[in-house]
Structure 1
């Protein structure tokens, strides 16, 4: 009887499994047309059956075979050889199998070295950007390619060019440990194309998805009669399609590029590899050719396809003034998109959504030379934080990892008979990809609360977005430069202030971030000697200083969590802020914006006025009271100032006994009653007849310590906080405006109220005293 390992049926089954494994690996570059124009290699990838032990049946059979004798305990240790790193490139015919996916050969001096992360790094993102180099510093520059593969073959190998010894690569991660191999090959190196990985290095990256943060939703908006196509030159449309499925693949890949770029920027700013996540769905993988060919299912970023109730003609007639000042018909594409998203997502009051929208029905009008049905805008509509951008550059986007480098190096001239040359900065395909992907990222920055900056994505530096993903830049029609190697200093960036905003944004939370106080607000309190105390329950993150006439911030103060204790109470002086400004700006009026680690914001339009005597008033006992920064805009028609000290402060014999709050969809007024039944009215007695009453426990000496306020243009809702830790209900609109907690700094108490009222209360603050 033949031995079990020669059983014909088992042998045939194992052969069949082996064939399937080989095929899944080989199809990653099934067509020369889809290659990245890198130097071809022969056998530089260790076969999957070795790297991943892909045939369990074979392992079972080998257990029964005789094992080699153990190594004697007295075997002399190997002698160290300082030249091991340099002895490989000239060694021909080496044959050494890989153990657990890693070669036992000595490390080559040409093994790729990763420069932006180390072994066993933990990240929380699906797409990771890798930067590295080949060879030793000071040696001659090398050209070739680096092949990145997973040891479990869970993602097909991808190839990335090496220019002057530098390379950049993207890695697709799955939750858990991701074991990666980087193989360098070059026609100028001996044994570069051998069957064993000679010039190789290994890296393990652990990925934990951040499920405790709200996702950035991705949506494609179509007209109700849209055919679901986008602008593309005929040859390109024939080659890859310009239908909705192609648009989904391209938009998803663009979003993955946003994610990889932003996480790398946060890391370079020493704020951790934190980045927004996407809502995901189980669908056919689109990030590589093999997944599409084999129908491989993966958890990918979900693209919501949303139909508007507008027709294509209506959408394409809506031109923002920047595009066509003489347009006969103008409209609000942002409002139309917001309405469609609210109808689709159906958020409840107080639920915040973050959505970046691609308008598929944007169209290059060759007659008028404008892009119709397109708007580049970002911001918020209530609780919906949204960015919108057109699809006029979509044809130039990559659809997969294999297309990233070709997309950012494609010098094909833009044919304006079919597609737009946006702002005359998209003269070639790769420059159009920069404008489309980068400008949409710019609007997504607005979605996250970023204003324009002095440099970076929030200026217009996204015209160099390609440099993040390629080691060599192609010829640019915009600058008329022939391109060349890309230095990190010349790459596109997020501004430091953008990164600080992201550090405090809920979409950028990491799985191990501690829970923050739910009160994210910031308050400013003028006190004695011209000082201003800043309070924030989550701590102050940074302060922006704007001298009069400056729209962009050039001067700021940071209080990062990574390098010091949480600053929940700060004292500022006007002179301290002015000393930080350039000499010629120090005498001008200054605006100060304070940001908290919880994402709260406070704007002080005139810091000098806040810390001057204008912010104080005398109390009859010789003490002074100080006005907090007012909430609400006080800009309603007929708005009049309202302010008073509590009678219980000016008359020590009186005690505050109850507060009556008048309210409807907003706060109409507050009436403060004392133990002798006298009262003081702030605002008006409107809204609900008779209002609602909140009683104070006067026998135990309960008093008001602060207010929780929801406000925007006016005061939407208000809640009373007391010395016993009690809280009243929120009167008015409990979900309107943004939240603020008015709690005086330590050593001060509430002694009155200040603000303004029109048809209802449109401004509110408190008076404090020691």
Structure 2
């Protein structure tokens, strides 16, 4: 039932943000209805969300080890439950290479340890491990959750005090039964937001506003032990929300797509082209919005530009001239879900960094964003100009890719057998060859790159619309 409340809340928030009543869907099965007392009493069959019971290879004692408890400040492996859960989920679903999974997990072995005053077997974490998008949360508030539609209002108005002799008062924000329900359901939704790729926000679910998630489903709030207030009527502006940026992210997320949505281009990447002190952004699927981070704003976005329309939403106060000199970081998002992060906007767009004078030509080239971290021993930058651009007596005839689990180097071979090597020769002996159609004047128009700490894989795009195979590790890094 908690998951259905997530759906109802999210659909309402999307509608209020004028983005349609779209929401993530659950895997379903045909079974006896459990969402309503009436279905249970009459044995009505319905298509309802399927719950998978997954076992780990760990014992209950191992899962409840204080060294794994996230709320234990002395824990030696406070995030260990996330890895254990990820391994169990992968072993259960056995995904194929490249198959994405979106899984939100309730840890049923969470327990309030009265001796250490710590919730063990619990961690509130969400994110991504390869192609597994995973959010986890403990079940220590489960006793307060509604189990059917008829129990939603009673559960969110139950003022029964939390008895810490038996159950925990999580973060001292669950002093009564309804507050425990709101915190547990809301905090798990917060981790599910991380599962969908959402960062922390200045307000909304991805802050800590989920403690008042109950207000979306009530007209009057009960007495709160957290604020020591008697409650009263609930106004819409007092409700918990998804931040506007979260809704914009959901609009283009594959889990939120509707059957009548147009088919998106396969290339979801965002490209940045610095020139003359500006940055031009392009994406085959279109630019959805751009997040702007000020130098002293940390990792929380407080200003952004929505597209189309270029309506700038700046929730921060007006900047002084000194603030304008601070480091500016941007993150551009495409409708296909791609991201381009620019860590230093001014540096990328500066003439010293962006402009490259081509030797022998009166033209200027523009340098793009660096890919890979250059963190491996022996890493060094390589930069060259295609000799076919400098001399008209040769054309590119083939490209040789040297790779193993990552890309070691690329060799460009011309029709006069002259060669240019970017990187080094390594990996597969002799490399893999991609031939260009010289007769039809085929030339390189771009590259598709997957990178992280190094260049994991690369693909050539040509003027004839052809794509080479993805050489290297096609599942490594990020596009």
Taking structure 1 as the reference length, the TM-score comes to: 0.60
Deviations 1:253-285 (A, max 9, x none): 000000000000000001110100111111121
Question: Mind listing any 5+ residue stretches in structure 2 that lack a counterpart?
Answer: none
Q: CA deviation at 1:330?
A: 5.2
Aligned equivalents of 2:302 and 2:372: distance in 1?
27
Query: Could you tell me how far 1:331 is from its partner in structure 2?
Result: 5.9
Contact 1:411/1:475 (<8 A) preserved: yes
* Equivalence map 1:654-693=2 (5 Å): 654-693=394-433
Corresponding residue number in structure 2 for 1:294 = 42
- The equivalent residue for 1:582 is 319
Partner of 1:508: 256
1:540 counterpart (265, 268, 287):
287
- The residue number in structure 1 matching 2:336 is 598
Alignment equivalent of 1:615, drawn from 348, 354, 358 = 354
Secondary structure of 1:658 counterpart: strand
Task: Name the residue aligned to 1:651.
Answer: 391
1:416 to 164, 173, 183: 164
For 1:625 and 1:715, how far apart are their aligned partners in 2? 22
Q: Is residue 697 of structure 1 aligned with residue 437 of structure 2?
A: yes
**Aligned partners of 1:427 and 1:393: how far apart in 2?**
11
TM superposition shift of 1:632: 2.3
Higher alpha-carbon deviation: 370-379 or 643-652: 643-652
Q: Secondary structure at the match of 1:402?
A: helix
Matches of 2:33 and 2:466 in 1, distance apart? 53
What secondary structure, in the 3-state scheme, does the structure 1 residue paired with 2:214 have? helix
Number of aligned pairs? 473
Preserved CA contact (<8 Å) 1:555 1:581: no
Query: What secondary structure, in the 3-state scheme, does the structure 2 residue paired with 1:525 have?
Result: strand
Match of 2:9 among 233, 243, 261: 261
1:397 and 1:407 in contact (8 A); partners too: yes
Aligned to 1:549: 296
Q: Deviations over 1:694-722 (max 9, x none)?
A: 22233332211111222233222211121
Identify the residue that residue 633 of structure 1 maps to in structure 2: 373
SS across alignment from 1:710: strand
- What TM-score results when the alignment is normalised by the length of structure 2? 0.95
Cα distance in 2, alignment partners of residues 709 and 526 from structure 1: 19
Secondary structure at the aligned position of 2:356 is classed as strand
- Cα separation, 1, equivalents of 2:211 and 2:2: 15
Deviations 1:458-477 (A, max 9, x none): 00001110100010000000
- 1:544-565 residue CA offsets vs partner (Å, 9 max, x unmatched): 11111212111100015xxx6x
Q: Give 1:318 shift.
A: 5.5
Secondary structure of the residue aligned to 2:384 is: strand
Query: Structure 1 residue 642 and structure 2 residue 390: aligned?
Result: no
Structure 1 counterpart SS, 2:181: helix
- 1:179-203, CA deviations, whole angstroms, 9 ceiling, x for partnerless residues? xxxxxxxxxxxxxxxxxxxxxxxxx
Deviations 1:429-460 (A, max 9, x none): 00000110000000000001110000000000
Contact kept in structure 2, 1:523 and 1:629, CA below 8 Å: no
Other-structure match for 2:208? 460
What is the CA deviation profile of residues 73-117 of structure 1, one whole-angstrom value per residue up to 9, with x for unaligned ones? xxxxxxxxxxxxxxxxxxxxxxxxxxxxxxxxxxxxxxxxxxxxx
Q: Is the 8 A contact 2:79 2:123 kept in 1?
A: no
Q: CA deviation at 1:404?
A: 0.2
User: Is 1:663–1:687's contact at 8 Å kept on the other side of the alignment?
Assistant: yes
* SS in structure 2 at match of 1:532: strand
Deviation at residue 328 of structure 1 after TM alignment: 6.0
Conserved? CA contact 1:318–1:333, under 8 Å:
no
Given that residues 271 and 282 in structure 2 are in contact (C-alpha distance below 8 angstroms), is that contact kept between their aligned partners in structure 1?
yes
Corresponding residue to 1:280 among 17, 23, 28 = 28
From 452, 457, 462, the equivalent of 1:712 is 452
Q: Pick from 722, 726, 729: which aligns with 2:462?
A: 722
Q: CA RMSD in A?
A: 1.9
Q: Is the 8 A contact 2:273 2:368 kept in 1?
A: yes
How big is the shift at 1:683? 1.2
Q: How is 1:161-176 mapped onto 2 (pairs within 5 angstroms)?
A: none
Q: Are the equivalent residues in 2 in contact too, given 1:269–1:496 (CA < 8 A)? A: yes
1:319 to partner: Cα distance: 4.4
Question: What CA deviation, in whole Å up to 9, does each residue of 1:204-252 have, x standing for no partner?
Answer: xxxxxxxxxxxxxxxxxxxxxxxxxxxxxxxxxxxxxxxxxxxxxxxxx
**For 1:320 and 1:461, how far apart are their aligned partners in 2?**
27
Q: In the alignment, is the contact (CA less than 8 A) between 2:68 and 2:76 conserved in 1?
A: no
Q: 1:330 to 1:409 in 2, by over 3 A?
A: closer
CA distance in 2 between counterparts of 1:599 and 1:331 reads: 27
* Residue pair 1:668, 1:686 contacting (<8 A) in 2 also: yes
